[in-house]
Structure 1
Amino acid sequence: MLLLLRPLVRVRLSATTLTVVLLSTQQYIPSPAMSYCMTVGCSHPENLNSAEYCQGCGQFLLLQNRYLAIKPLSRGGFGRTFLAIDQQIPSHPHCVIKQFFVQYENPQDYQTAAKLFRQEAVRLDQLGKHPQIPQLLAHFEQNKQLFIIQEYIQGKTLFDELKQDGLFTEQKIWQVLKQILPILQFIHEQNIIHRDIKPANLMRRCSLPSSGENSLDTVVDLTQIPPTIPMRDQEQAQISAKLKSTIYPILSPENSDLQTSTDFNKNDIVLIDFGISKLLTGTALLHSGTIVGTPEFMAPEQMRGTVYPASDLYSLGLTCLYLITGISPGKLYDDHDEKWNWRSYLIPQQIISDRLETVLNKLIVIAINQRYKSAEEVLTAIQSSETPVNIAVKPVIPIKKTSAKVVQTPAKTPNLLERIKQNLGYQPLNDPLKSAVGVDYTQLQTLLAQKRWKQADQETWFVLCQALKKSKKTYLYAQDLANLPCEDLQTINHLWVKYSNSRFGFSIQNQIYQTVEGDYGKFCQQVGWLTYNPNNPDYGIEYKTSAPTGHLPTRNWIVSTGKWWKNLEILAEKLASCKIN
C-alpha cells in the first residue's frame, strides 16, 4: 500500500473571512496487481504491475509515458475502455482510457473510426465542465492507435443498479427523468445528439466513503498552508463534493467563494459514452448517416440513419420502460396492434401513475411530429403536471346546484351506505350459485363483488379443484377441464362476468381466443399475458379493474407442459358443449 498525506483544497474566501477549514486526506492507493497492454492483437496483454514492457509483444506499457491501463471495463464495435492510473500525478488518480480501433479490410473503415475519435474529443471539449458529463483530460494518437483519456466516474450504471436492486419504482423513474433531461437539454443546445441513451450509459455516482480512499481525516487551519497550492481540475472535483458535505455546515455560503471546476452531488446520474454523438448541422438533418447505437433502444428514424433531439428522448423513454419492467424494449411493443403494451408487464406490486404513464407514452411515440420535440418541453410537461389534480377540477364541480336539489328532495337521496356501495360498484348478491357436486361458491361471490381480484383468482383455483374432486391447491391439467360439470363452470363464469362488468371471465377469454382465430401468441398480447411460464406465476399479472379485457382469471393453476394453448382449446370446447357464451 502507498500512503499519501496531502492537502486537497485551496479556498478563496471573501475579505471578511480570516480563517477557514482545510480538508486533508489520507488516501490509500492500492498498487495495481496487473497492467494491460493496449496494442491491438497482442497475444498476452496481461502483465505484472512491475513490468515496463509487454511480455507478449514488447511494446512500452505506458501511454504518452504517463497512463497505465490496469483493468478492462468494456468493449464495443469501435473500441474498448480501460480503467487506468495517471503515473505523472503523485497520487496516481484513476482515469479512463478509451481506445478506438477497427479491424479493417480497407482504409475507409479506419477513416470512420478515426472520424468518431476526433468527434468525441471535440464534443467532450465543447461540453466543457458540465458536472454530469465526464471531463476530457487528453486525446492523442500513438502507434497508429487512437486514445482518449477521460475522468473516471466512480459508481454503477443503471443497468447494474437494476440487476442488483431490482425494478425501479415510480419515484426512481422521476429522479432519472429530472436528472437526465437537463443534460439532454444542455447537449442539444450545443447542437449535439448523444444517439446511444440506454441504462448502461447512465451511471450513478457513488457517495464518498467515510474511510479509506478519498476519506476525510483531519481538519487544519488554512493559514498554516502556503497560499499557492498547485491544483488540478480532477482534485477540484473531489474538493467540491467534500466541501458540500463537510465545509458547508461550518461556513456560511454568503461568506465563501469556492472556486472549483466541477460541482456535483452524490448520487448524481452521469451521461457517459459520447463516442457516437453527432453534430447537428443542416446536412446531418437532411441526409442519412452511419447507423450507430444500440438497436433495442433506438428511435425508428435513427434506424434509418437520421437523428433529431427527439431521437434521444425516445431512447430515454425506452430506458425508463426497461428499468420499470426489466423487459427488452422490443418485447414491449405489440406488432399486431401497433402499440406499446408495457403496462401489462408490470408486476402486481408496481404502481405507475397516470401522470408518469402520460409522459412515458409521449416520449416513445413512433411518429416524430407527435413525440416531445425537446427536453425542455418534457421538463415543462412534468412541472405543469405536478399541480394536484383536485385543485384544477374542484371549481368546476356543480356542488351548490346538486346540494340544493338534495335538500329539497331528501326522499330521493341515497343514504350514506347506499352511496358507498355505489362508489364501490356494489351489486346485490342474488346470484344462483348452482353446483352439480355441492361446491359452495359464496366466498368467490363475495370476493368478486368486493373487486378483490387476486383473492378471487385464488378462490377460483380452489373451487375448480373441489368441482373436479381434487385436493385444494392441486395443479390441474388442461384435459381436467373437460370433466368440469357444466353447472359449476356456468356459475364460476357468471360470477366473473357479472362483477367485472363483462371484462373478465372464461367466456370473455374464449371470445378473444376465437377473434384471433386460435393464435395463442396474439391471444396473450390481447389479454396481457406472457407467452412463457415465468418463475413467479404472478409476474406480469395485474389484479385490478383496469387490467386488459380477458386478463383474469389467470392460468396459474394449470400445469405447464410447454403447450399453454391446450388449456384454451379444451376450455373453448367445454364452453361450447355447455352452451356458455
Structure 2
Amino acid sequence: MSYCLNPHCPKPENPTDVKFCRTCGSKLLLKERYRAIKPIGQGGFGKTFLAVDEDKPSKPRCVIKQFYPQSQGANSLAKAVELFNQEAVQLDELGKHPQIPELLAYFTQENRQYLVQEFIDGQNLAQELAHKGAFSETQIWQLLNDLLSVLQFCHARHVIHRDIKPENIIRESDAQRKLVLVDFGAAKSATGAALNQTGTSIGSPEYVAPEQMRGRAVFASDIYSLGATCINLLTVRSPFDSYDTNNDTWVWQQYLKTPVSNQLSRILNKMLESIPIRRYQTVDEVLKDLNQQSQVAATSAIAAKPLPQSPAKSPPTFVSPSPSQIDLELEQMKTQFLGSNKPQPNKIQPPIPTSGPSSTNEIDQELEELKAKYLGNNNS
C-alpha cells in the first residue's frame, strides 16, 4: 500500500504501484524514493509514518517524520519549526552512534518539511512491560549500562534528550537485542548561552525533572528521567504514583514486585533527587558507582564460593572372609597339624601330650567348633 502524506486527503490509502494519490493527486514518493506505507504515530509537532526506500534493491524500511504542528499560535509555530530543524541537525551528528537512529534525509516538499530516519525493528519498553510484566533487578542493571553510554555520547556533544521514557527506548528484535534511544524531537542544545536561558517545558510530565518543568533542563535532567523510567519498569506504576507528595519522598520500594538490593536502591534514589545539586551531575558519576557495585558483587561472589576440598578419607572397612575361605584356611591348619604328627623315618617320636587331641576325629571336631565360633562372632 502507498499512503498519501497530504494531511487533508480524505482517502489516503492507495495501491503500491501508483505514484500519485488517486483521491487528491498528491505525489506519493518523497524525493522520488521514499514511499509511506502507514501512519505509526502523531505528536504535537507532526506525524510519523512507516515507509520503504524504493531507491535501494532490498527496499529497506525507514521512518518518515512530517512536520505538521497542531498548535496555531505564531510563537508556538516558531518554536515547533525550531525544534524540528534542531532534531534534524542533531540526528545528523548523533545518528553515528549504533544505539541512535541514523538520519537518512532532511528536505522540504510541497511546502512541508520532512526528515527520514532509520527504522528500528522492535518493541519499546512500554510495550515490553505490558507484555512481560515488571523488570527484574538484573534487567535494570543491564538497562542502565546500555543507556548511560548513549547519554554519555549525547551529553559529550552538548545535547540533552529531554524526553527519556519507556516509549522512547526500543529493544531491537535481532540477535543483539540492543536498546536504542529514539525521538530527539524534544532534544535541546546545551551549549554556553542555551544553558543560561529559560526555555519551554518539554517532555512527558511523569518522567520530567523538576527543573526541566520550569524550562531549565540540564544534563542531570536526563539522569532523573532515566531513573524515573527504571522505577516505572520495576513497579509497573506511573512515577507519579510512586512519590509521596505529603512527605516529599519517593516510596517506589513499597510497590516492587520483587525486592531489589540496597545498592540499586541507593543509585536510583540519587538519580531521582528532586534538587539537582544532590543528584548525579554527570553520567560518568553514575557509571563510576555502577562499576564499583559490579566489582563489589564480583568480590562477594568469589568470597562466597566454597574452596575445593579433598575428599574425606573413609575408615578402612573389614571384609569378612566367605565360608569357603574359612574352610580352606581350616583345612590348611588341619593338614599342617596332622603333618607335624606324621612319623619321620629313622627318628624317635616324642610322646604325644595327653592333653592334645588324640585322633583325626577329635581334630575335625575342634576345627568345626572353631569355624562355628568364628562365623558366629562375625554375624553378631
* TM-score bracket relative to the smaller structure: 0.7 to 0.9
In structure 2, the partner of 1:124 is: 91
Q: Using the TM superposition, give the Cα deviation of residue 64 of structure 1 relative to its aligned residue in structure 2, in angstroms.
A: 1.1
Q: Using the TM superposition, give the Cα deviation of residue 304 of structure 1 relative to its aligned residue in structure 2, in angstroms.
A: 0.4
Determine the C-alpha separation between the residues in 1 that align with 2:263 and 2:71. Answer: 49
* Structure 1 residues not aligned, in runs of 5+: 1-33, 209-265, 393-581
The residue type paired with residue 386 of structure 1 is S
- Matching of residues 111-190 of structure 1 within 5 Å: 111-190=78-157
Q: Using the TM superposition, give the Cα deviation of residue 361 of structure 1 relative to its aligned residue in structure 2, in angstroms.
A: 0.4
- Matching of residues 60-459 of structure 1 within 5 Å: 60-207=27-174, 266-347=176-257, 350-388=258-296
Determine the C-alpha separation between the residues in 1 that align with 2:171 and 2:45. Answer: 24
Contact 1:70 1:85 in 2 (8 A): yes
Determine the C-alpha separation between the residues in 2 that align with 1:42 and 1:283. Answer: 43
Aligned Cα RMSD in Å? 1.6
The residue type paired with residue 221 of structure 2 is S
Q: Using the TM superposition, give the Cα deviation of residue 338 of structure 1 relative to its aligned residue in structure 2, in angstroms.
A: 0.8
Q: Using the TM superposition, give the Cα deviation of residue 109 of structure 1 relative to its aligned residue in structure 2, in angstroms.
A: 3.2
Q: Using the TM superposition, give the Cα deviation of residue 105 of structure 1 relative to its aligned residue in structure 2, in angstroms.
A: 3.1
The residue type paired with residue 157 of structure 2 is Q
Determine the C-alpha separation between the residues in 2 that align with 1:105 and 1:204. Answer: 35
- Matching of residues 482-561 of structure 1 within 5 Å: none
Determine the C-alpha separation between the residues in 2 that align with 1:391 and 1:67. Answer: 54
When residues 68 and 314 of structure 1 are mapped into structure 2, their CA distance, relative to the original with a 3 A threshold, is same
| TM-score (normalised: structure 2) | 0.76
Determine the C-alpha separation between the residues in 1 that align with 2:93 and 2:295. Answer: 37
Determine the C-alpha separation between the residues in 2 that align with 1:128 and 1:72. Answer: 23
When residues 82 and 389 of structure 1 are mapped into structure 2, their CA distance, relative to the original with a 3 A threshold, is closer
* Cα shift readout 1:171-220 (whole Å, capped 9, x = no counterpart): 00001000000110110010000000000100111115xxxxxxxxxxxx
Q: Using the TM superposition, give the Cα deviation of residue 324 of structure 1 relative to its aligned residue in structure 2, in angstroms.
A: 0.6
Q: How many residues align?
A: 300
Contact 2:44 2:71 in 1 (8 A): no
Contact 2:45 2:70 in 1 (8 A): no
In structure 1, the partner of 2:317 is: none
Dislocated runs of 4+, deviation >4 Å: 389-392
Determine the C-alpha separation between the residues in 1 that align with 2:144 and 2:211. Answer: 22
Q: Using the TM superposition, give the Cα deviation of residue 362 of structure 1 relative to its aligned residue in structure 2, in angstroms.
A: 0.4
Where 2:295 maps in the other structure, the secondary structure is coil
Determine the C-alpha separation between the residues in 2 that align with 1:114 and 1:47. Answer: 30
Where 1:95 maps in the other structure, the secondary structure is strand
* Cα shift readout 1:120-165 (whole Å, capped 9, x = no counterpart): 1111112251110111111001112111110111111111111111
Contact 2:45 2:84 in 1 (8 A): no
Contact 1:101 1:110 in 2 (8 A): no
The residue type paired with residue 171 of structure 2 is R
Q: With CA pairs under 8 Å and 6+ residues apart, which has the higher RCO, 1 or 2? A: 1
The residue type paired with residue 281 of structure 2 is K
Determine the C-alpha separation between the residues in 2 that align with 1:389 and 1:153. Answer: 34
Where 1:88 maps in the other structure, the secondary structure is coil
* Structure 2 residues not aligned, in runs of 5+: 301-380
